[in-house]
Structure formats: structure tokens, C-alpha cells
Structure 1
């Protein structure tokens, strides 16, 4: 195997509450096999906000295996194999938490996040880090987001596309070419101890946000303006914030460009953006501002004041 792409979905805020897992097995830069399992989480505790995202409910997993049983079916994929996931810190933390919950000895294997892998292939283009944004950039078809198998296969396709684009033989030769791509060991993982629903589910499809009003106030400060969001908002959901802006005649964009009028900055997850706490969208905006492009970088409070104008 070249690598195995993996994705977990969870039932609630507990990282050990895996309710599904998908694996895409890659050989010679092609998906040659795939596995998908529903998992019965401890106590069958489901948070409705999580179910609304991935569509899995307690009824769906009544006859499913517990995690320890599923692990027996998939553990051989972690022997002398490189594991890849999009935002690997999350998926590796789910695996770590579930293994500990069932008192299963921790395996050791190499894992790589597909975010830095794909960043090398689209560096300087201002592409957001979400799986959807990366797939859209590379024109990779993507359906059924937040289905664990669909996401795992999409992650695998993203990685193999980058490998072919850069004319590398396989994932290892790709990573050896670009030393900035961290190849980590599971035994050295510093797992997330807590989980915020917003961290995994704050990414909203821009294409799904449509105006709910027929007439706009063309004198409003946001009318006709291009707005980009980055980070987690605290007093309002990303979805609601986008909807309010669109209903005022604003245009929501997924990435920063010279046409961006406003970049709304929320709280950043440093496990994703690094210790500086600045996302690639912010970096792109600051770079364009230095070139003389007029982009307004505002916080959540300032955005809320604008939509009240």
C-alpha cells in the first residue's frame, strides 16, 4: 500500500464517540479498496447538531459493532502503513481516544495531514484549508460530504492528484521533496483533549447560501461587497453570519483575492493554523494590503455592527 486515507465521524463532543469510519486504500496512486463501518458509540449518546451534519442517528447504529470490534477488522491497515487524513490532528485524536476508552494497546504508525500535502501544490493561490475548498481548487468531484467513506476517498484523491501534479512517484517521494510536510508518528501524538462542535463543522458550503429576500437596500454598506470568513465565530454561527450578509446583498467568497472587500476574522484554532494564530486567508489579505489593495479586516464585533447598520 502507498497509504490509507481515513476519516471518522463522531456522535457527540466526546472524541471517543466515533460513530462511523471510512478508509480508502491506495496502491500505485489509485484507490484499490475501500471500507466503511458504522460504529455504536458508548451509551448511544448522539448530539442532534452532530447528527444534522453527518446524518447518523441512534437508530442507524443499533445493530452496529462497538469500536473495539471494528478495530479488530481494520487494525491490520495500520501495520507498516502511512495513514493520511484531512486535518489529521482531529482524526488521530478520535482514534487515540477510542483506543483508550476500550483499553486497547496503542499502535504506532506514521501519519500525514493532507492539508500541508495539498498546500505544496497550491501554494500562493490563497486556497482555504477545508477539504471542500481544496477539492474545488483541483477540480475533484465531491459528493456526500461528512460521510466518512466519501471524505476518506476524497482525501485520497486530493493526495494522489497532488502527487501527479508534481510528477512524484508516490507519497513518500513527494514528502521527501518538500521537507515542510511533517511526517509524524502516532506514538508521539499530542491528542486533543476537548472538542468544540464548531471546529469541525464551522465550514459551510458557500454555494448553499442564497438570499431569502427579494429586494435589497442598495445603500447598505455591505451591498455588493465581497466578504470572506475565517476562524470560529462565538456569538453567531458561520452559517447564520453568511446568511445575514447575503440577505443584505453581500457576496460570500471562500478565498481572499484582490476583489475581497471584507475579511471577517474569528477565533483561530492554533492546532490548524499554527502558533501564530493567523490563517492562510489572513496572511493573503495582509499581503494584498501591502500591495495597496483595500481590504477591511474586521473582527466578529465589527461585523455584527455592520449587519445592524
Structure 2
């Protein structure tokens, strides 16, 4: 395979809400196959503005497979031997990584490239926009149904093939070798976006490595002793760093992300402009998914956390 071009569409601002995926396979500078999937997001919450763009409705997704089911069918394509290409690749790679995290799926190791710098090398010096529509129009490539995932993935493939041909290269690999400034990135090293559009409000981030217990003797009967705790949202009556410190002081283990090993998820107030209409953070959605899969994660609010924390006093 020369490369595989991909494109996702999402249901709402959360980048784990993939609702469709297109893949186009290229070998010897020729499109040899293509695949298209509708995907039911973890939470079936379609933003009207997004539906206006891609035209996918909740009714179409109701009986669609989950991302985990789709991934089971396509995961074998994502490995070091196949180069993955997308337009504005960080966005699509972020969707992929968020979806993998939402279903606790193992992340593959592969390299990806963005078609923006690829096409820039073929039209250097021309003042054209970076959008897929602008770049394909420059080379006379027609997008049949813009914002249909398969149509866009095919347009990306045709754009890359055209660039390789214009510069008289044998393949995208030799093209990238010629223009060594084109970034080839590792999916494993990607720090993904989680929200589309408006950036998340910046909180005073707490480094878990800085939270150390002030003592080394603990009440082994405490409900948090040797339990894995994860926090999400903004606590109202106590600073998160202070809450974490109090937790480790009774023998808890504070973690940054939800996993099968999580014992308690402590939920504070969520900013709905960031997490969406359902008010659930990515950590909450992952916890609910794992609970449905049989994991014994306890989801508690700030009041329940403080009450359990103070149980040390009575023991």
C-alpha cells in the first residue's frame, strides 16, 4: 500500500463522537479500494449545526455499529507498514485517539502525514487556502459530496496522487523523501484535541507526581486505602489539589485517567460549554462504558467524596 487516506465526521463537539468514517486505499498511485462506515457515538447526541454540515441524523445512527465494532474490522490496517494521510491530520488523528480511549482500546503504532504540507509543496508560492475544497479545486479535483467522510477521504487520496504526479515522483514515499520538511508524525506521540472549536478553559493543572502523602502510616480500614481515585470537573468546596492531597494522606492512589483499575471517579461541576449538552466529561463517559462492561467503578459526587474522606476520623 502506498498510503491510506481517512476522514471522520463527528456528531458534536466531543472528538470521541465519530459518526462516520471513510477510508481510501492507494497502491502504485492508484485507488484500489474504499470503505465507508456509519458509527454510533458513545452518546447519541447530535448537534444540529454538525448535522447541517454532514447530513447524518440520529435515526441513521441508531442501529449503526459502535466505534469498537468498526475498529475490530479495520484495526489491522493501522500499523507501521501503512502510512495514513488526512487533511488537517491532527483533527482526524485526535478523533481516532479519543475514540480509542472512549472504548479502552489499545492504541496502534503507525505514522501519519497531513495532506496540507504535501499539497503545499506542489503549489508553493500560490496564495490559496488550506481547506480541502481550496486545495482540490486548485488541481481540478471534484469532491462529489463535501463533508461526506468517504467523498472527502477520496478527495484527499486524489490530491496526494496528483501532487506526486506533478512533481514526477514514483510514490508518496519518494515525494516525502524529496521534500524532507514534510512532517511524518507518530500516532503514539500525538497529544490529541478533545473538543472541536473553542479551546478548553484553562484550569490550574495539578501534577499528580507532586502529590505525596505527608505520612506513611495509614488506617487500612479507610474506604480509600489503596484505592485508585480519579477526579473530573471543578470541585466547589475544596480545591482539587487539596482534595487530592487529603486523599493520598489516607492512603489513596490518585490517577489522571479512568481505566479498568479505577475504583472511584469523583465528579465535580462540569462546564457544559466544554463537555456538551449531556454534561458528561470524557472521563465520566469512559467510566460508564467500563461499568457496562462489568467493571466495579464507583462514581461519586463531591459531597460523597468528602463524607468518605472524613470516615478516617471515626475509625
Q: TM-score, normalised by structure 1?
A: 0.63
Deviation at 1:4, TM superposition (A): 0.2
**Residue pair 1:13, 1:197 contacting (<8 A) in 2 also:** no
- 1:113 aligns with 114
Deviation string 1:252-304 (CA, Å, 9 cap, x unpaired) is xxxxxxxxxxxxxxxxxxxxxxxxxxxxxxxxxxxxxxxxxxxxxxxxxxxxx
Give me the whole-angstrom Cα distance separating, in 2, the residues matched to 1:195 and 1:26: 29
Residue 55 (structure 2) pairs with residue 55 (structure 1): yes
- 1:275 aligns with none
- 2:144 aligns with 143
Tell me, what secondary structure is at the counterpart of 1:140? coil
Deviation at 1:190, TM superposition (A): 1.6
Deviation at 1:42, TM superposition (A): 1.4
Give me the whole-angstrom Cα distance separating, in 2, the residues matched to 1:123 and 1:191: 29
Cα distance change on mapping 1:43 and 1:93 into 2, 3 Å: same
Give me the whole-angstrom Cα distance separating, in 2, the residues matched to 1:160 and 1:196: 30
- 1:281 aligns with none
Deviation at 1:130, TM superposition (A): 0.3
Give me the whole-angstrom Cα distance separating, in 1, the residues matched to 2:10 and 2:159: 23
| 1:163-202 paired onto structure 2 within 5 Å | 163-196=164-197
Deviation at 1:180, TM superposition (A): 1.3
- 1:267 aligns with none
- 1:129 aligns with 130
- 1:43 aligns with 43
Give me the whole-angstrom Cα distance separating, in 2, the residues matched to 1:197 and 1:50: 15
Give me the whole-angstrom Cα distance separating, in 2, the residues matched to 1:153 and 1:65: 22
**Residue pair 1:12, 1:45 contacting (<8 A) in 2 also:** yes
Give me the whole-angstrom Cα distance separating, in 1, the residues matched to 2:194 and 2:148: 24
Deviation at 1:166, TM superposition (A): 0.2
Tell me, what secondary structure is at the counterpart of 2:142? coil
Give me the whole-angstrom Cα distance separating, in 1, the residues matched to 2:158 and 2:171: 13
Deviation at 1:197, TM superposition (A): 7.3
Give me the whole-angstrom Cα distance separating, in 1, the residues matched to 2:198 and 2:69: 27
Give me the whole-angstrom Cα distance separating, in 2, the residues matched to 1:143 and 1:188: 34
Deviation at 1:142, TM superposition (A): 1.6
Cα distance change on mapping 1:197 and 1:160 into 2, 3 Å: farther
Deviation string 1:90-111 (CA, Å, 9 cap, x unpaired) is 0000000000000001101010
- 1:104 aligns with 105
Deviation at 1:76, TM superposition (A): 1.1
Deviation at 1:193, TM superposition (A): 2.9
- 2:282 aligns with none
Give me the whole-angstrom Cα distance separating, in 2, the residues matched to 1:21 and 1:158: 18
Give me the whole-angstrom Cα distance separating, in 2, the residues matched to 1:193 and 1:66: 19
Give me the whole-angstrom Cα distance separating, in 2, the residues matched to 1:68 and 1:15: 15
Tell me, what secondary structure is at the counterpart of 2:22? strand
**Residue pair 2:94, 2:192 contacting (<8 A) in 1 also:** yes
Deviation at 1:67, TM superposition (A): 0.3
Structure 1 consecutive aligned stretches of length 4 or more whose deviation exceeds 2 Å: none
Residue 30 (structure 2) pairs with residue 15 (structure 1): no
- 1:293 aligns with none
- 1:284 aligns with none
* 5+ residue gaps, structure 2: 200-315
Tell me, what secondary structure is at the counterpart of 2:43? helix
| 1:1-309 paired onto structure 2 within 5 Å | 1-79=1-79, 80-196=81-197
Tell me, what secondary structure is at the counterpart of 1:43? coil
Cα distance change on mapping 1:111 and 1:24 into 2, 3 Å: same
Give me the whole-angstrom Cα distance separating, in 2, the residues matched to 1:106 and 1:55: 30
Q: TM-score, normalised by structure 2?
A: 0.62
Give me the whole-angstrom Cα distance separating, in 2, the residues matched to 1:25 and 1:74: 12
